[in-house]
Amino acid sequence: MKDRNMNKILPHLKSPKELHEMQVPQLTQLAEEIRETLCGLLSIRPAHFASNLGVVELTLALHSVYDFSYDRLIWDTGHQIYPQKLITGRYDKFHTIRTRGGLMGYPNPAESEYDLFVTGHAGCSVSTMVGLASGDELMGQGDRQSVAVIGDGAFPSGIVFEALNNAAEMKTNMLVVLNDNEMSICPRVGGLGSYLDRLRSNPVYTGLKTEVVNILNKVPVFGDPAERFLAQIKEGVKAGLHGGMLFEEFGFRYFGPIDGHNINVLRKYLKMVKQLDGNVLLHVITNKGHGFKPAAEDPVYFHTPPTFERQGDKAIPNQKGGSKAYTNHARDAIFDQMKHNDKVTVITAAMCQGNKLEPVREAFPDRFFDVGICESHAVAFAAGQCKTGMRPIVDIYSTFLQRSYDQIFQEVCLQNLPVVFMMDRAGLTAPDGPTHHGTFDVGYMRIFPNMVVMAPGDANDVGAMLDFALQHDTPSCMRYPKTNAAEISRELKPVELGKSEILSWGTDGNILCYGTPLIECLKAQEILAEEGIDVGVINARFAKPLDSTTILKALDESNFVITVEEGMLMGGFGSAVCELANEHGVDASHVKRLGIPDVFVEFGERGELLDELRLQAVGIVETCREQFEGVNTKVTRQKI
């Protein structure tokens, strides 16, 4: 990774406490060095980019006013943690971020005392901040300051307002920094976003903005009469134009909006609110991608862009070929269904870009619904649509759908409504790590009565499964990973409820594969055949209902059976196979399950993670070989 401007400050910064002694010119230089380092990182690997560029000045201002080795700081969602990592003693390791054994791309308490939680889901920062403030008070450390930084895209999450409601009852000193950049990953949606737009675009505010900045830039210290007078003016403007402010109804004194890229103004406001009693919300205006023109102009693309080389104000992508991703196949299948059936809708939760749904949004704006980062609402909303006779598709990442667990239970499955769940990013999401791996959905979906649980074995299964799901009369779900999709050459058969696809039948053993490890199972089959071991491969397609006829036949006729899935072993497809055997009184001692054990899988390249879990061809071959040798050893002993 290249330091293009020969960083002078950043490499020597060992602690953010050193920022307390720096003047604004030094902090401004440091901000530029951080941006250059971020651009250098993107020349070697994809990483969260625009969001980090947008909080550089805010990070420096916060750490130059507070001592977060004692005070508390929570970054909501956490993908904008890179500047904090760079100033908290991790600069030398920064080039390892999102690689196996390197720095995590999210906050990580194992790396630094400045990272309090591993955060990867939006909306929880205010709740954890309230808990920290409460606990510190009870522990006799009420002088600790608690700060949560949350984006405007995450702010509408229901849990945020639950936390604000709770905080209104508490006698604490907490600061919520509302980082308003008019974005989540995609442009924000909903009423709260419109409300914030009115705050930032009010003609009185915009008219005062230049004067406000000029005055604050000249104010030397908090307490100067000019600043007190300015504060009174701003309070009068708020009261006259907005009446009872939404945030103040929750007991938070509101300040802002202020320029989130002006370090001097940020520091003055932070010093001011730090000395106030009670809870404060500081409204900060930032721009995603700030400081790098391509990212500022297209923050959606540059949220986590492919690698590129920086040439001045241009980003030259490092081109890579590859087959079509499962996400694209899923998008195309949704598009085709919506084109032919005007009862089909699609609902997503602030992930239009992640789910590649932009063409769907453009072609069918009346039947496309982005509800923001509100997954629980998305599922209940879908249930309501379904009740009217519409056929909603809920397209949400596996890991984020967990947030709507109760609504899947109560509003969908209990009512037996045929909502279709398409779970993107199921399985391992590689460098994003444990907060984003979609490894739990098989277990949490298949336990619900009425729910049909499916996974495509290859690209050809995706459209066929969605077609089946939209004709089926109960809830259903389909999972697929963040990777390019294989297409297996064979005679395509329609998807039927609870029916697997027998690709081949082995005389020595059989592999029952659930989902996209299917191509690796077929590779393993070829290798084993060269060794004289005849292993069949079955595309299970369903984890619920199981193809009991085929599976029981495999258990009866095979010397060994291997189940393969890219999900948790506990409660997963392999568990379902063993449960089926138990129900029918069939011996399952010759069943070996491959999947993810009872651990949180760390981050790394997808291939190396799958290798460690024995979910690539080599590991499947080794497992089959071990089972084959075990069977032969047992037979030999019996003969002796």
Catalytic residues: 288, 375, 403
- Identify the CA nearest to 45 among candidates 304, 252, 241: 304
Phi first, then psi: what are they for 563, rounded to 5°?
-100, 140
C-alpha distances out from residue 319 to 303, 309, 316, 426, 599, Å:
18, 11, 9, 26, 35
* HEC readout, 440-488: CHHHHHHCCCCCEEECCCCHHHHHHHHHHHHHCCCCEEEECCCCECCCC
d(CA 451, CA 409): 10
Q: Cis ω on the peptide bond leading into residue 545 (within 30° of 0)?
A: yes
CB-based contact 274:145 (threshold 8 Å): yes
CB-based contact 420:427 (threshold 8 Å): no
d(CA 423, CA 575): 21
Tell me how far apart the terminal alpha carbons of the chain are, to the nearest angstrom. 63
**In 26-47, which positions are buried (b, 16+ CB within 10 angstroms) versus exposed (e)?**
bbbbbbebbbbbbbbbbbebbb
- Identify the CA nearest to 481 among candidates 610, 599, 638, 618: 610
Q: Count each helix (H run) and each strand (E run) in the chain, helices first.
A: 23, 19
Q: Which residues pair with 284 in a beta bridge?
A: 179, 258
Largest CA distance in the chain: 99
Phi first, then psi: what are they for 624, rounded to 5°?
-65, -40
Token pair listed for 478: 């389909």
DSSP string, 126-171: HHHHHHHHHHHHHTT-TT--EEEEEETTTTTSHHHHHHHHHHTTS-
User: Please, what sign has the CA dihedral across residues 250, 180, 53, 276?
Assistant: negative
Task: State whether residue 391 is helix, strand or coil.
Answer: strand
Radius of gyration of the chain (CA): 27
